[in-house]
Amino acid sequence: MFGVDIGGTGIKGAPVDLDRGELSDDRFKVPTPHPATPEAVVEGVHEVVTHFGHTGPLGVTFPGVVVDGTTRTAANVDKGWVGVDAGKLLGERLGQPVVVLNDADAAGVAEMTFGAGRGRGGVVLMLTLGTGIGSALFVDGRLVPNTELGHLELHGHDAEKRASVKAREDEDLSWEHWAHRLKKYLAHVEMLFSPSLFVIGGGVSRKSEKFLPYIDGISAEIVPAQLQNSAGIVGAAMAAAKL
């Protein structure tokens, strides 16, 4: 199977071994175009897919709410995505069956199947930290789709404007300072959902030792994603396998 992960800064994809939950080849990445209009992003996805010569079903993640293949929000890409039948648009360009789903939901499903959430019951919340903050909420292993908890208000702002990796980089925050912001966000989310486990994903999961030690006062267990930044690609491929 094959998965593509559309992010605010890059579009990356790879073939996936669904028996092991691993990429079966090195991922290929192109920059997300700016402006990230539907037409421009579709061409980026096409470049990634054709790089591997892939034919057949594929899954594509999107950084926003996706309902039945239609993109309903577009926080970190062009607003022209709102109301677009993304599954149809991509399918026509690629000439292959395409399923589109929320990026954090895809990453969360992969982590619950192959990674840090495997075998965990109760309420589990995966957060993907990058250009924004994505979220995937699970209750006894079942996904509650499109939660988009990065847009909760925190100190008068979208939480992702304060606690995303982009916010850390844009404001040149130390890891400790950023962890303090992240802790406030986690405390807010914990108050609302009472998860037993937080899984921290995105590329920053590779550097968890730089910030997790500064996060205290949270009742839930907090662990880095095991699939790290490949989780979205694996989850997209898992969705494609159901086509």
pLDDT at 242: 96
pLDDT at 110: 98
Q: Which two tokens stand for residue 106?
A: 């895809």
Domain regions of the chain by residue span: 2-102+231-240, 106-229
For the cut 90, the answer to whether the pLDDT of residue 227 exceeds it is yes
Q: What is the mean pLDDT of residues 52-78?
A: 96
For the cut 90, the answer to whether the pLDDT of residue 88 exceeds it is yes
pLDDT at 155: 85
Question: Over the chain, what is the mean pLDDT?
Answer: 97
The full DSSP string for the chain is -EEEEE-SSEEEEEEEETTTTEESS--EEEEPPSS--HHHHHHHHHHHHHHTT--S-EEEEESS-EETTEE---SSS-GGGTTEEHHHHHHHHHTS-EEEEEHHHHHHHHHHHHSTTTT--SEEEEEEESSSEEEEEEETTEEE----GGGSEETTEEHHHHHSHHHHHHTT--HHHHHHHHHHHHHHHHHHH--SEEEEESGGGGGGGGTGGG--S-SSEEEE-SSGGGHHHHHHHHHHTT-
Fold of 106-229: Nucleotidyltransferase; domain 5 (3.30.420)
Give the architecture (CATH level 2) of 2-102+231-240.
2-Layer Sandwich (3.30)
pLDDT at 21: 97
pLDDT band at 116 (very low <50, low <70, confident <90, very high): very high
- The model's pTM is 0.95
pLDDT band at 137 (very low <50, low <70, confident <90, very high): very high
For the cut 90, the answer to whether the pLDDT of residue 154 exceeds it is no
For the cut 90, the answer to whether the pLDDT of residue 214 exceeds it is yes
Contacts with 130 (C-beta within 8 Å, 6 or more apart), sequence order:
7, 8, 9, 164, 165, 166, 202, 203, 204
* Matching fold, domains 2-102+231-240 and 106-229: yes
pLDDT at 75: 86
pLDDT at 174: 98
